[in-house]
Structure 1
Amino acid sequence: MATRDAITVTLIDDHPAVLAGMEYWYSTADPPIKVVASGATVQTAWAPPGDAAAVVVLDLQLGGRPPAYDDLRRLVDAGRQVIVYTMRDDEKTALTCMDLGAFTFLTKAEGEEHLTAATVAAAHDLPYTPPALAGAFGADTAPDRPNLSLREEEVLIEWFQCESKELVARKLGITPRTVNSYLDRVRIKYANVGREARTKANLVARAIQDGLIDVDDL
């Protein structure tokens, strides 16, 4: 039985069978995850009750249109935790979605195990890197330096120069949760090139090494 603490999710996919399958997976999760809305257009995530879900699962291609990058960007800018769940499995698409601020990127071939685990992680602001995304990160850069997006660099540098993530959020016009998401992705990218940066001090050291900032800028 769902409780008041149940994770809530909105599903956006234009294939009824896929929606039915995801709803079944979530209903049999332990504990169950509550699907509050599902539909074939992104409007599902903006209208009640879909607008209140903790997590949005977004099919990247709806109605045969090109990838819905603009829809993804708007959801992320509104502070939503978005899991891209798509048939596309190329590295460029995965990295583009992550650069736009998706919580994580899943191919539909990765299925129930990774979708439910990613949803739980998204609801609790914990990073989650499924196999396809890990492979994309690994192919994204030279062995010793991650390829950070301009927005990731901006958030990182502002965080170095501010006292708190809340101040970073106010300065950049985003939410603290979005700040955390960007910083989590930076850490994941560093980990994937064998240069873990678990603390703020670690990240400062990496950024100085990579020429992103100068000691005098701190």
Structure 2
Amino acid sequence: MSRDAIRVLLVDDHAIMRAGFRMILETADDITVVGEGADGAAAVAAASALRPDVICMDIQMPEMDGIEATRRIVADATLHAAVVIVTTFDRDDYLFQALDAGASGFLLKNAGPEELVAAVRVAAAGDALLAPEVTRRVIARFAASGSPSSEGPVRGSDAKRTWPDPTGPASMPELTDREAEVLTLVAEAMSNSEIAERLYIGEATVKTHVSNVLQKLGARDRVAAVVYAHRHGLA
């Protein structure tokens, strides 16, 4: 295990599921599981005590569900954990509420072991994880309503994801040619390292471009940027 291993917290009300996730993740030399929790309240407490880099969070749990736990963790400025929702339920309401709460990814439990490992690495790198079919659903909801939540604001709206203005091409900020190119590749679900390889530039330079793009778009993270790119015909 590397000294700079990704620290992961597992939160699921089924012990056998946590054990399976631990076994999968700890086969990777760059990942270590630092703790477990059986409900959302335990997740919030463990996140504060253990300071993980990534939290793999179930949704349906007793005491406090994964959506509320995600919202509280993301709203805590002292925590810097990325939350990846890992659930059995491929439901739109869970997907959009999780994104609004600030989750960095949404993964189904029928995903392969390599997908779970990849999801943790992507989230730890500060990237968002959305499968292509999930991305299409986010875009469709966003295009129809202007925001991914069509059922109105969810609880704890202060921690809600910031979505760029969807009003049309006239609202587009002035991106440089390189920033627009980077945004297009982000919308193709490419990681920073993949973008760097494609554009023959350093990964640190890509991170700078991505940061500038997010700032100009008024987007909290790459998920919002992907939606924006598709909404404006950049992908």
With normalisation by structure 2, the TM-score equals 0.62
Secondary structure at the aligned position of 1:4 is classed as coil
Alignment partner of 1:39 is 2:40: no
Aligned residue pairs total 173
Give the Cα–Cα distance (whole angstroms) in 2 for the partners of residues 93 and 3 of structure 1: 34
Q: Residue 117 of structure 2 aligns with which residue?
A: 116
Residue 44 of structure 1, CA deviation: 4.1
With normalisation by structure 1, the TM-score equals 0.66
User: Closer, same or farther in 2 for the Cα pair 1:34/1:188, shift >3 Å?
Assistant: same
Residue 142 of structure 1, CA deviation: 3.5
Contact 2:9 2:34 in 1 (8 A): yes
Q: Residue 100 of structure 1 aligns with which residue?
A: 101
Residue 102 of structure 1, CA deviation: 0.4
Give the Cα–Cα distance (whole angstroms) in 2 for the partners of residues 49 and 125 of structure 1: 19
Moved more, 105-114 or 31-40: 105-114
* Percent identity over paired residues: 28
User: Closer, same or farther in 2 for the Cα pair 1:49/1:75, shift >3 Å?
Assistant: closer
Q: Residue 70 of structure 2 aligns with which residue?
A: 72
Secondary structure at the aligned position of 2:33 is classed as strand
Contact 1:86 1:106 in 2 (8 A): yes
Structure 2 stretches lacking a partner, 5+ long: 150-159, 167-172, 174-210
Q: Residue 207 of structure 2 aligns with which residue?
A: none
Give the Cα–Cα distance (whole angstroms) in 1 for the partners of residues 64 and 44 of structure 2: 19
User: Closer, same or farther in 2 for the Cα pair 1:12/1:75, shift >3 Å?
Assistant: same
Q: Residue 87 of structure 2 aligns with which residue?
A: 86
User: Closer, same or farther in 2 for the Cα pair 1:111/1:66, shift >3 Å?
Assistant: farther
User: Closer, same or farther in 2 for the Cα pair 1:50/1:87, shift >3 Å?
Assistant: farther
User: Closer, same or farther in 2 for the Cα pair 1:39/1:141, shift >3 Å?
Assistant: closer
User: Closer, same or farther in 2 for the Cα pair 1:104/1:133, shift >3 Å?
Assistant: same
Residue 76 of structure 1, CA deviation: 1.0
Give the Cα–Cα distance (whole angstroms) in 1 for the partners of residues 100 and 134 of structure 2: 12
Alignment partner of 1:187 is 2:225: yes
Secondary structure at the aligned position of 1:89 is classed as coil
Structure 1 stretches lacking a partner, 5+ long: 161-175, 198-218
Give the Cα–Cα distance (whole angstroms) in 2 for the partners of residues 17 and 47 of structure 1: 19
Contact 2:44 2:72 in 1 (8 A): no
Residue 4 of structure 1, CA deviation: 1.1
RMSD, aligned α-carbons: 3.2
Alignment partner of 1:21 is 2:20: yes
From 196, 206, 210, the equivalent of 2:234 is 196
Contact 2:44 2:69 in 1 (8 A): no
Contact 1:36 1:49 in 2 (8 A): no
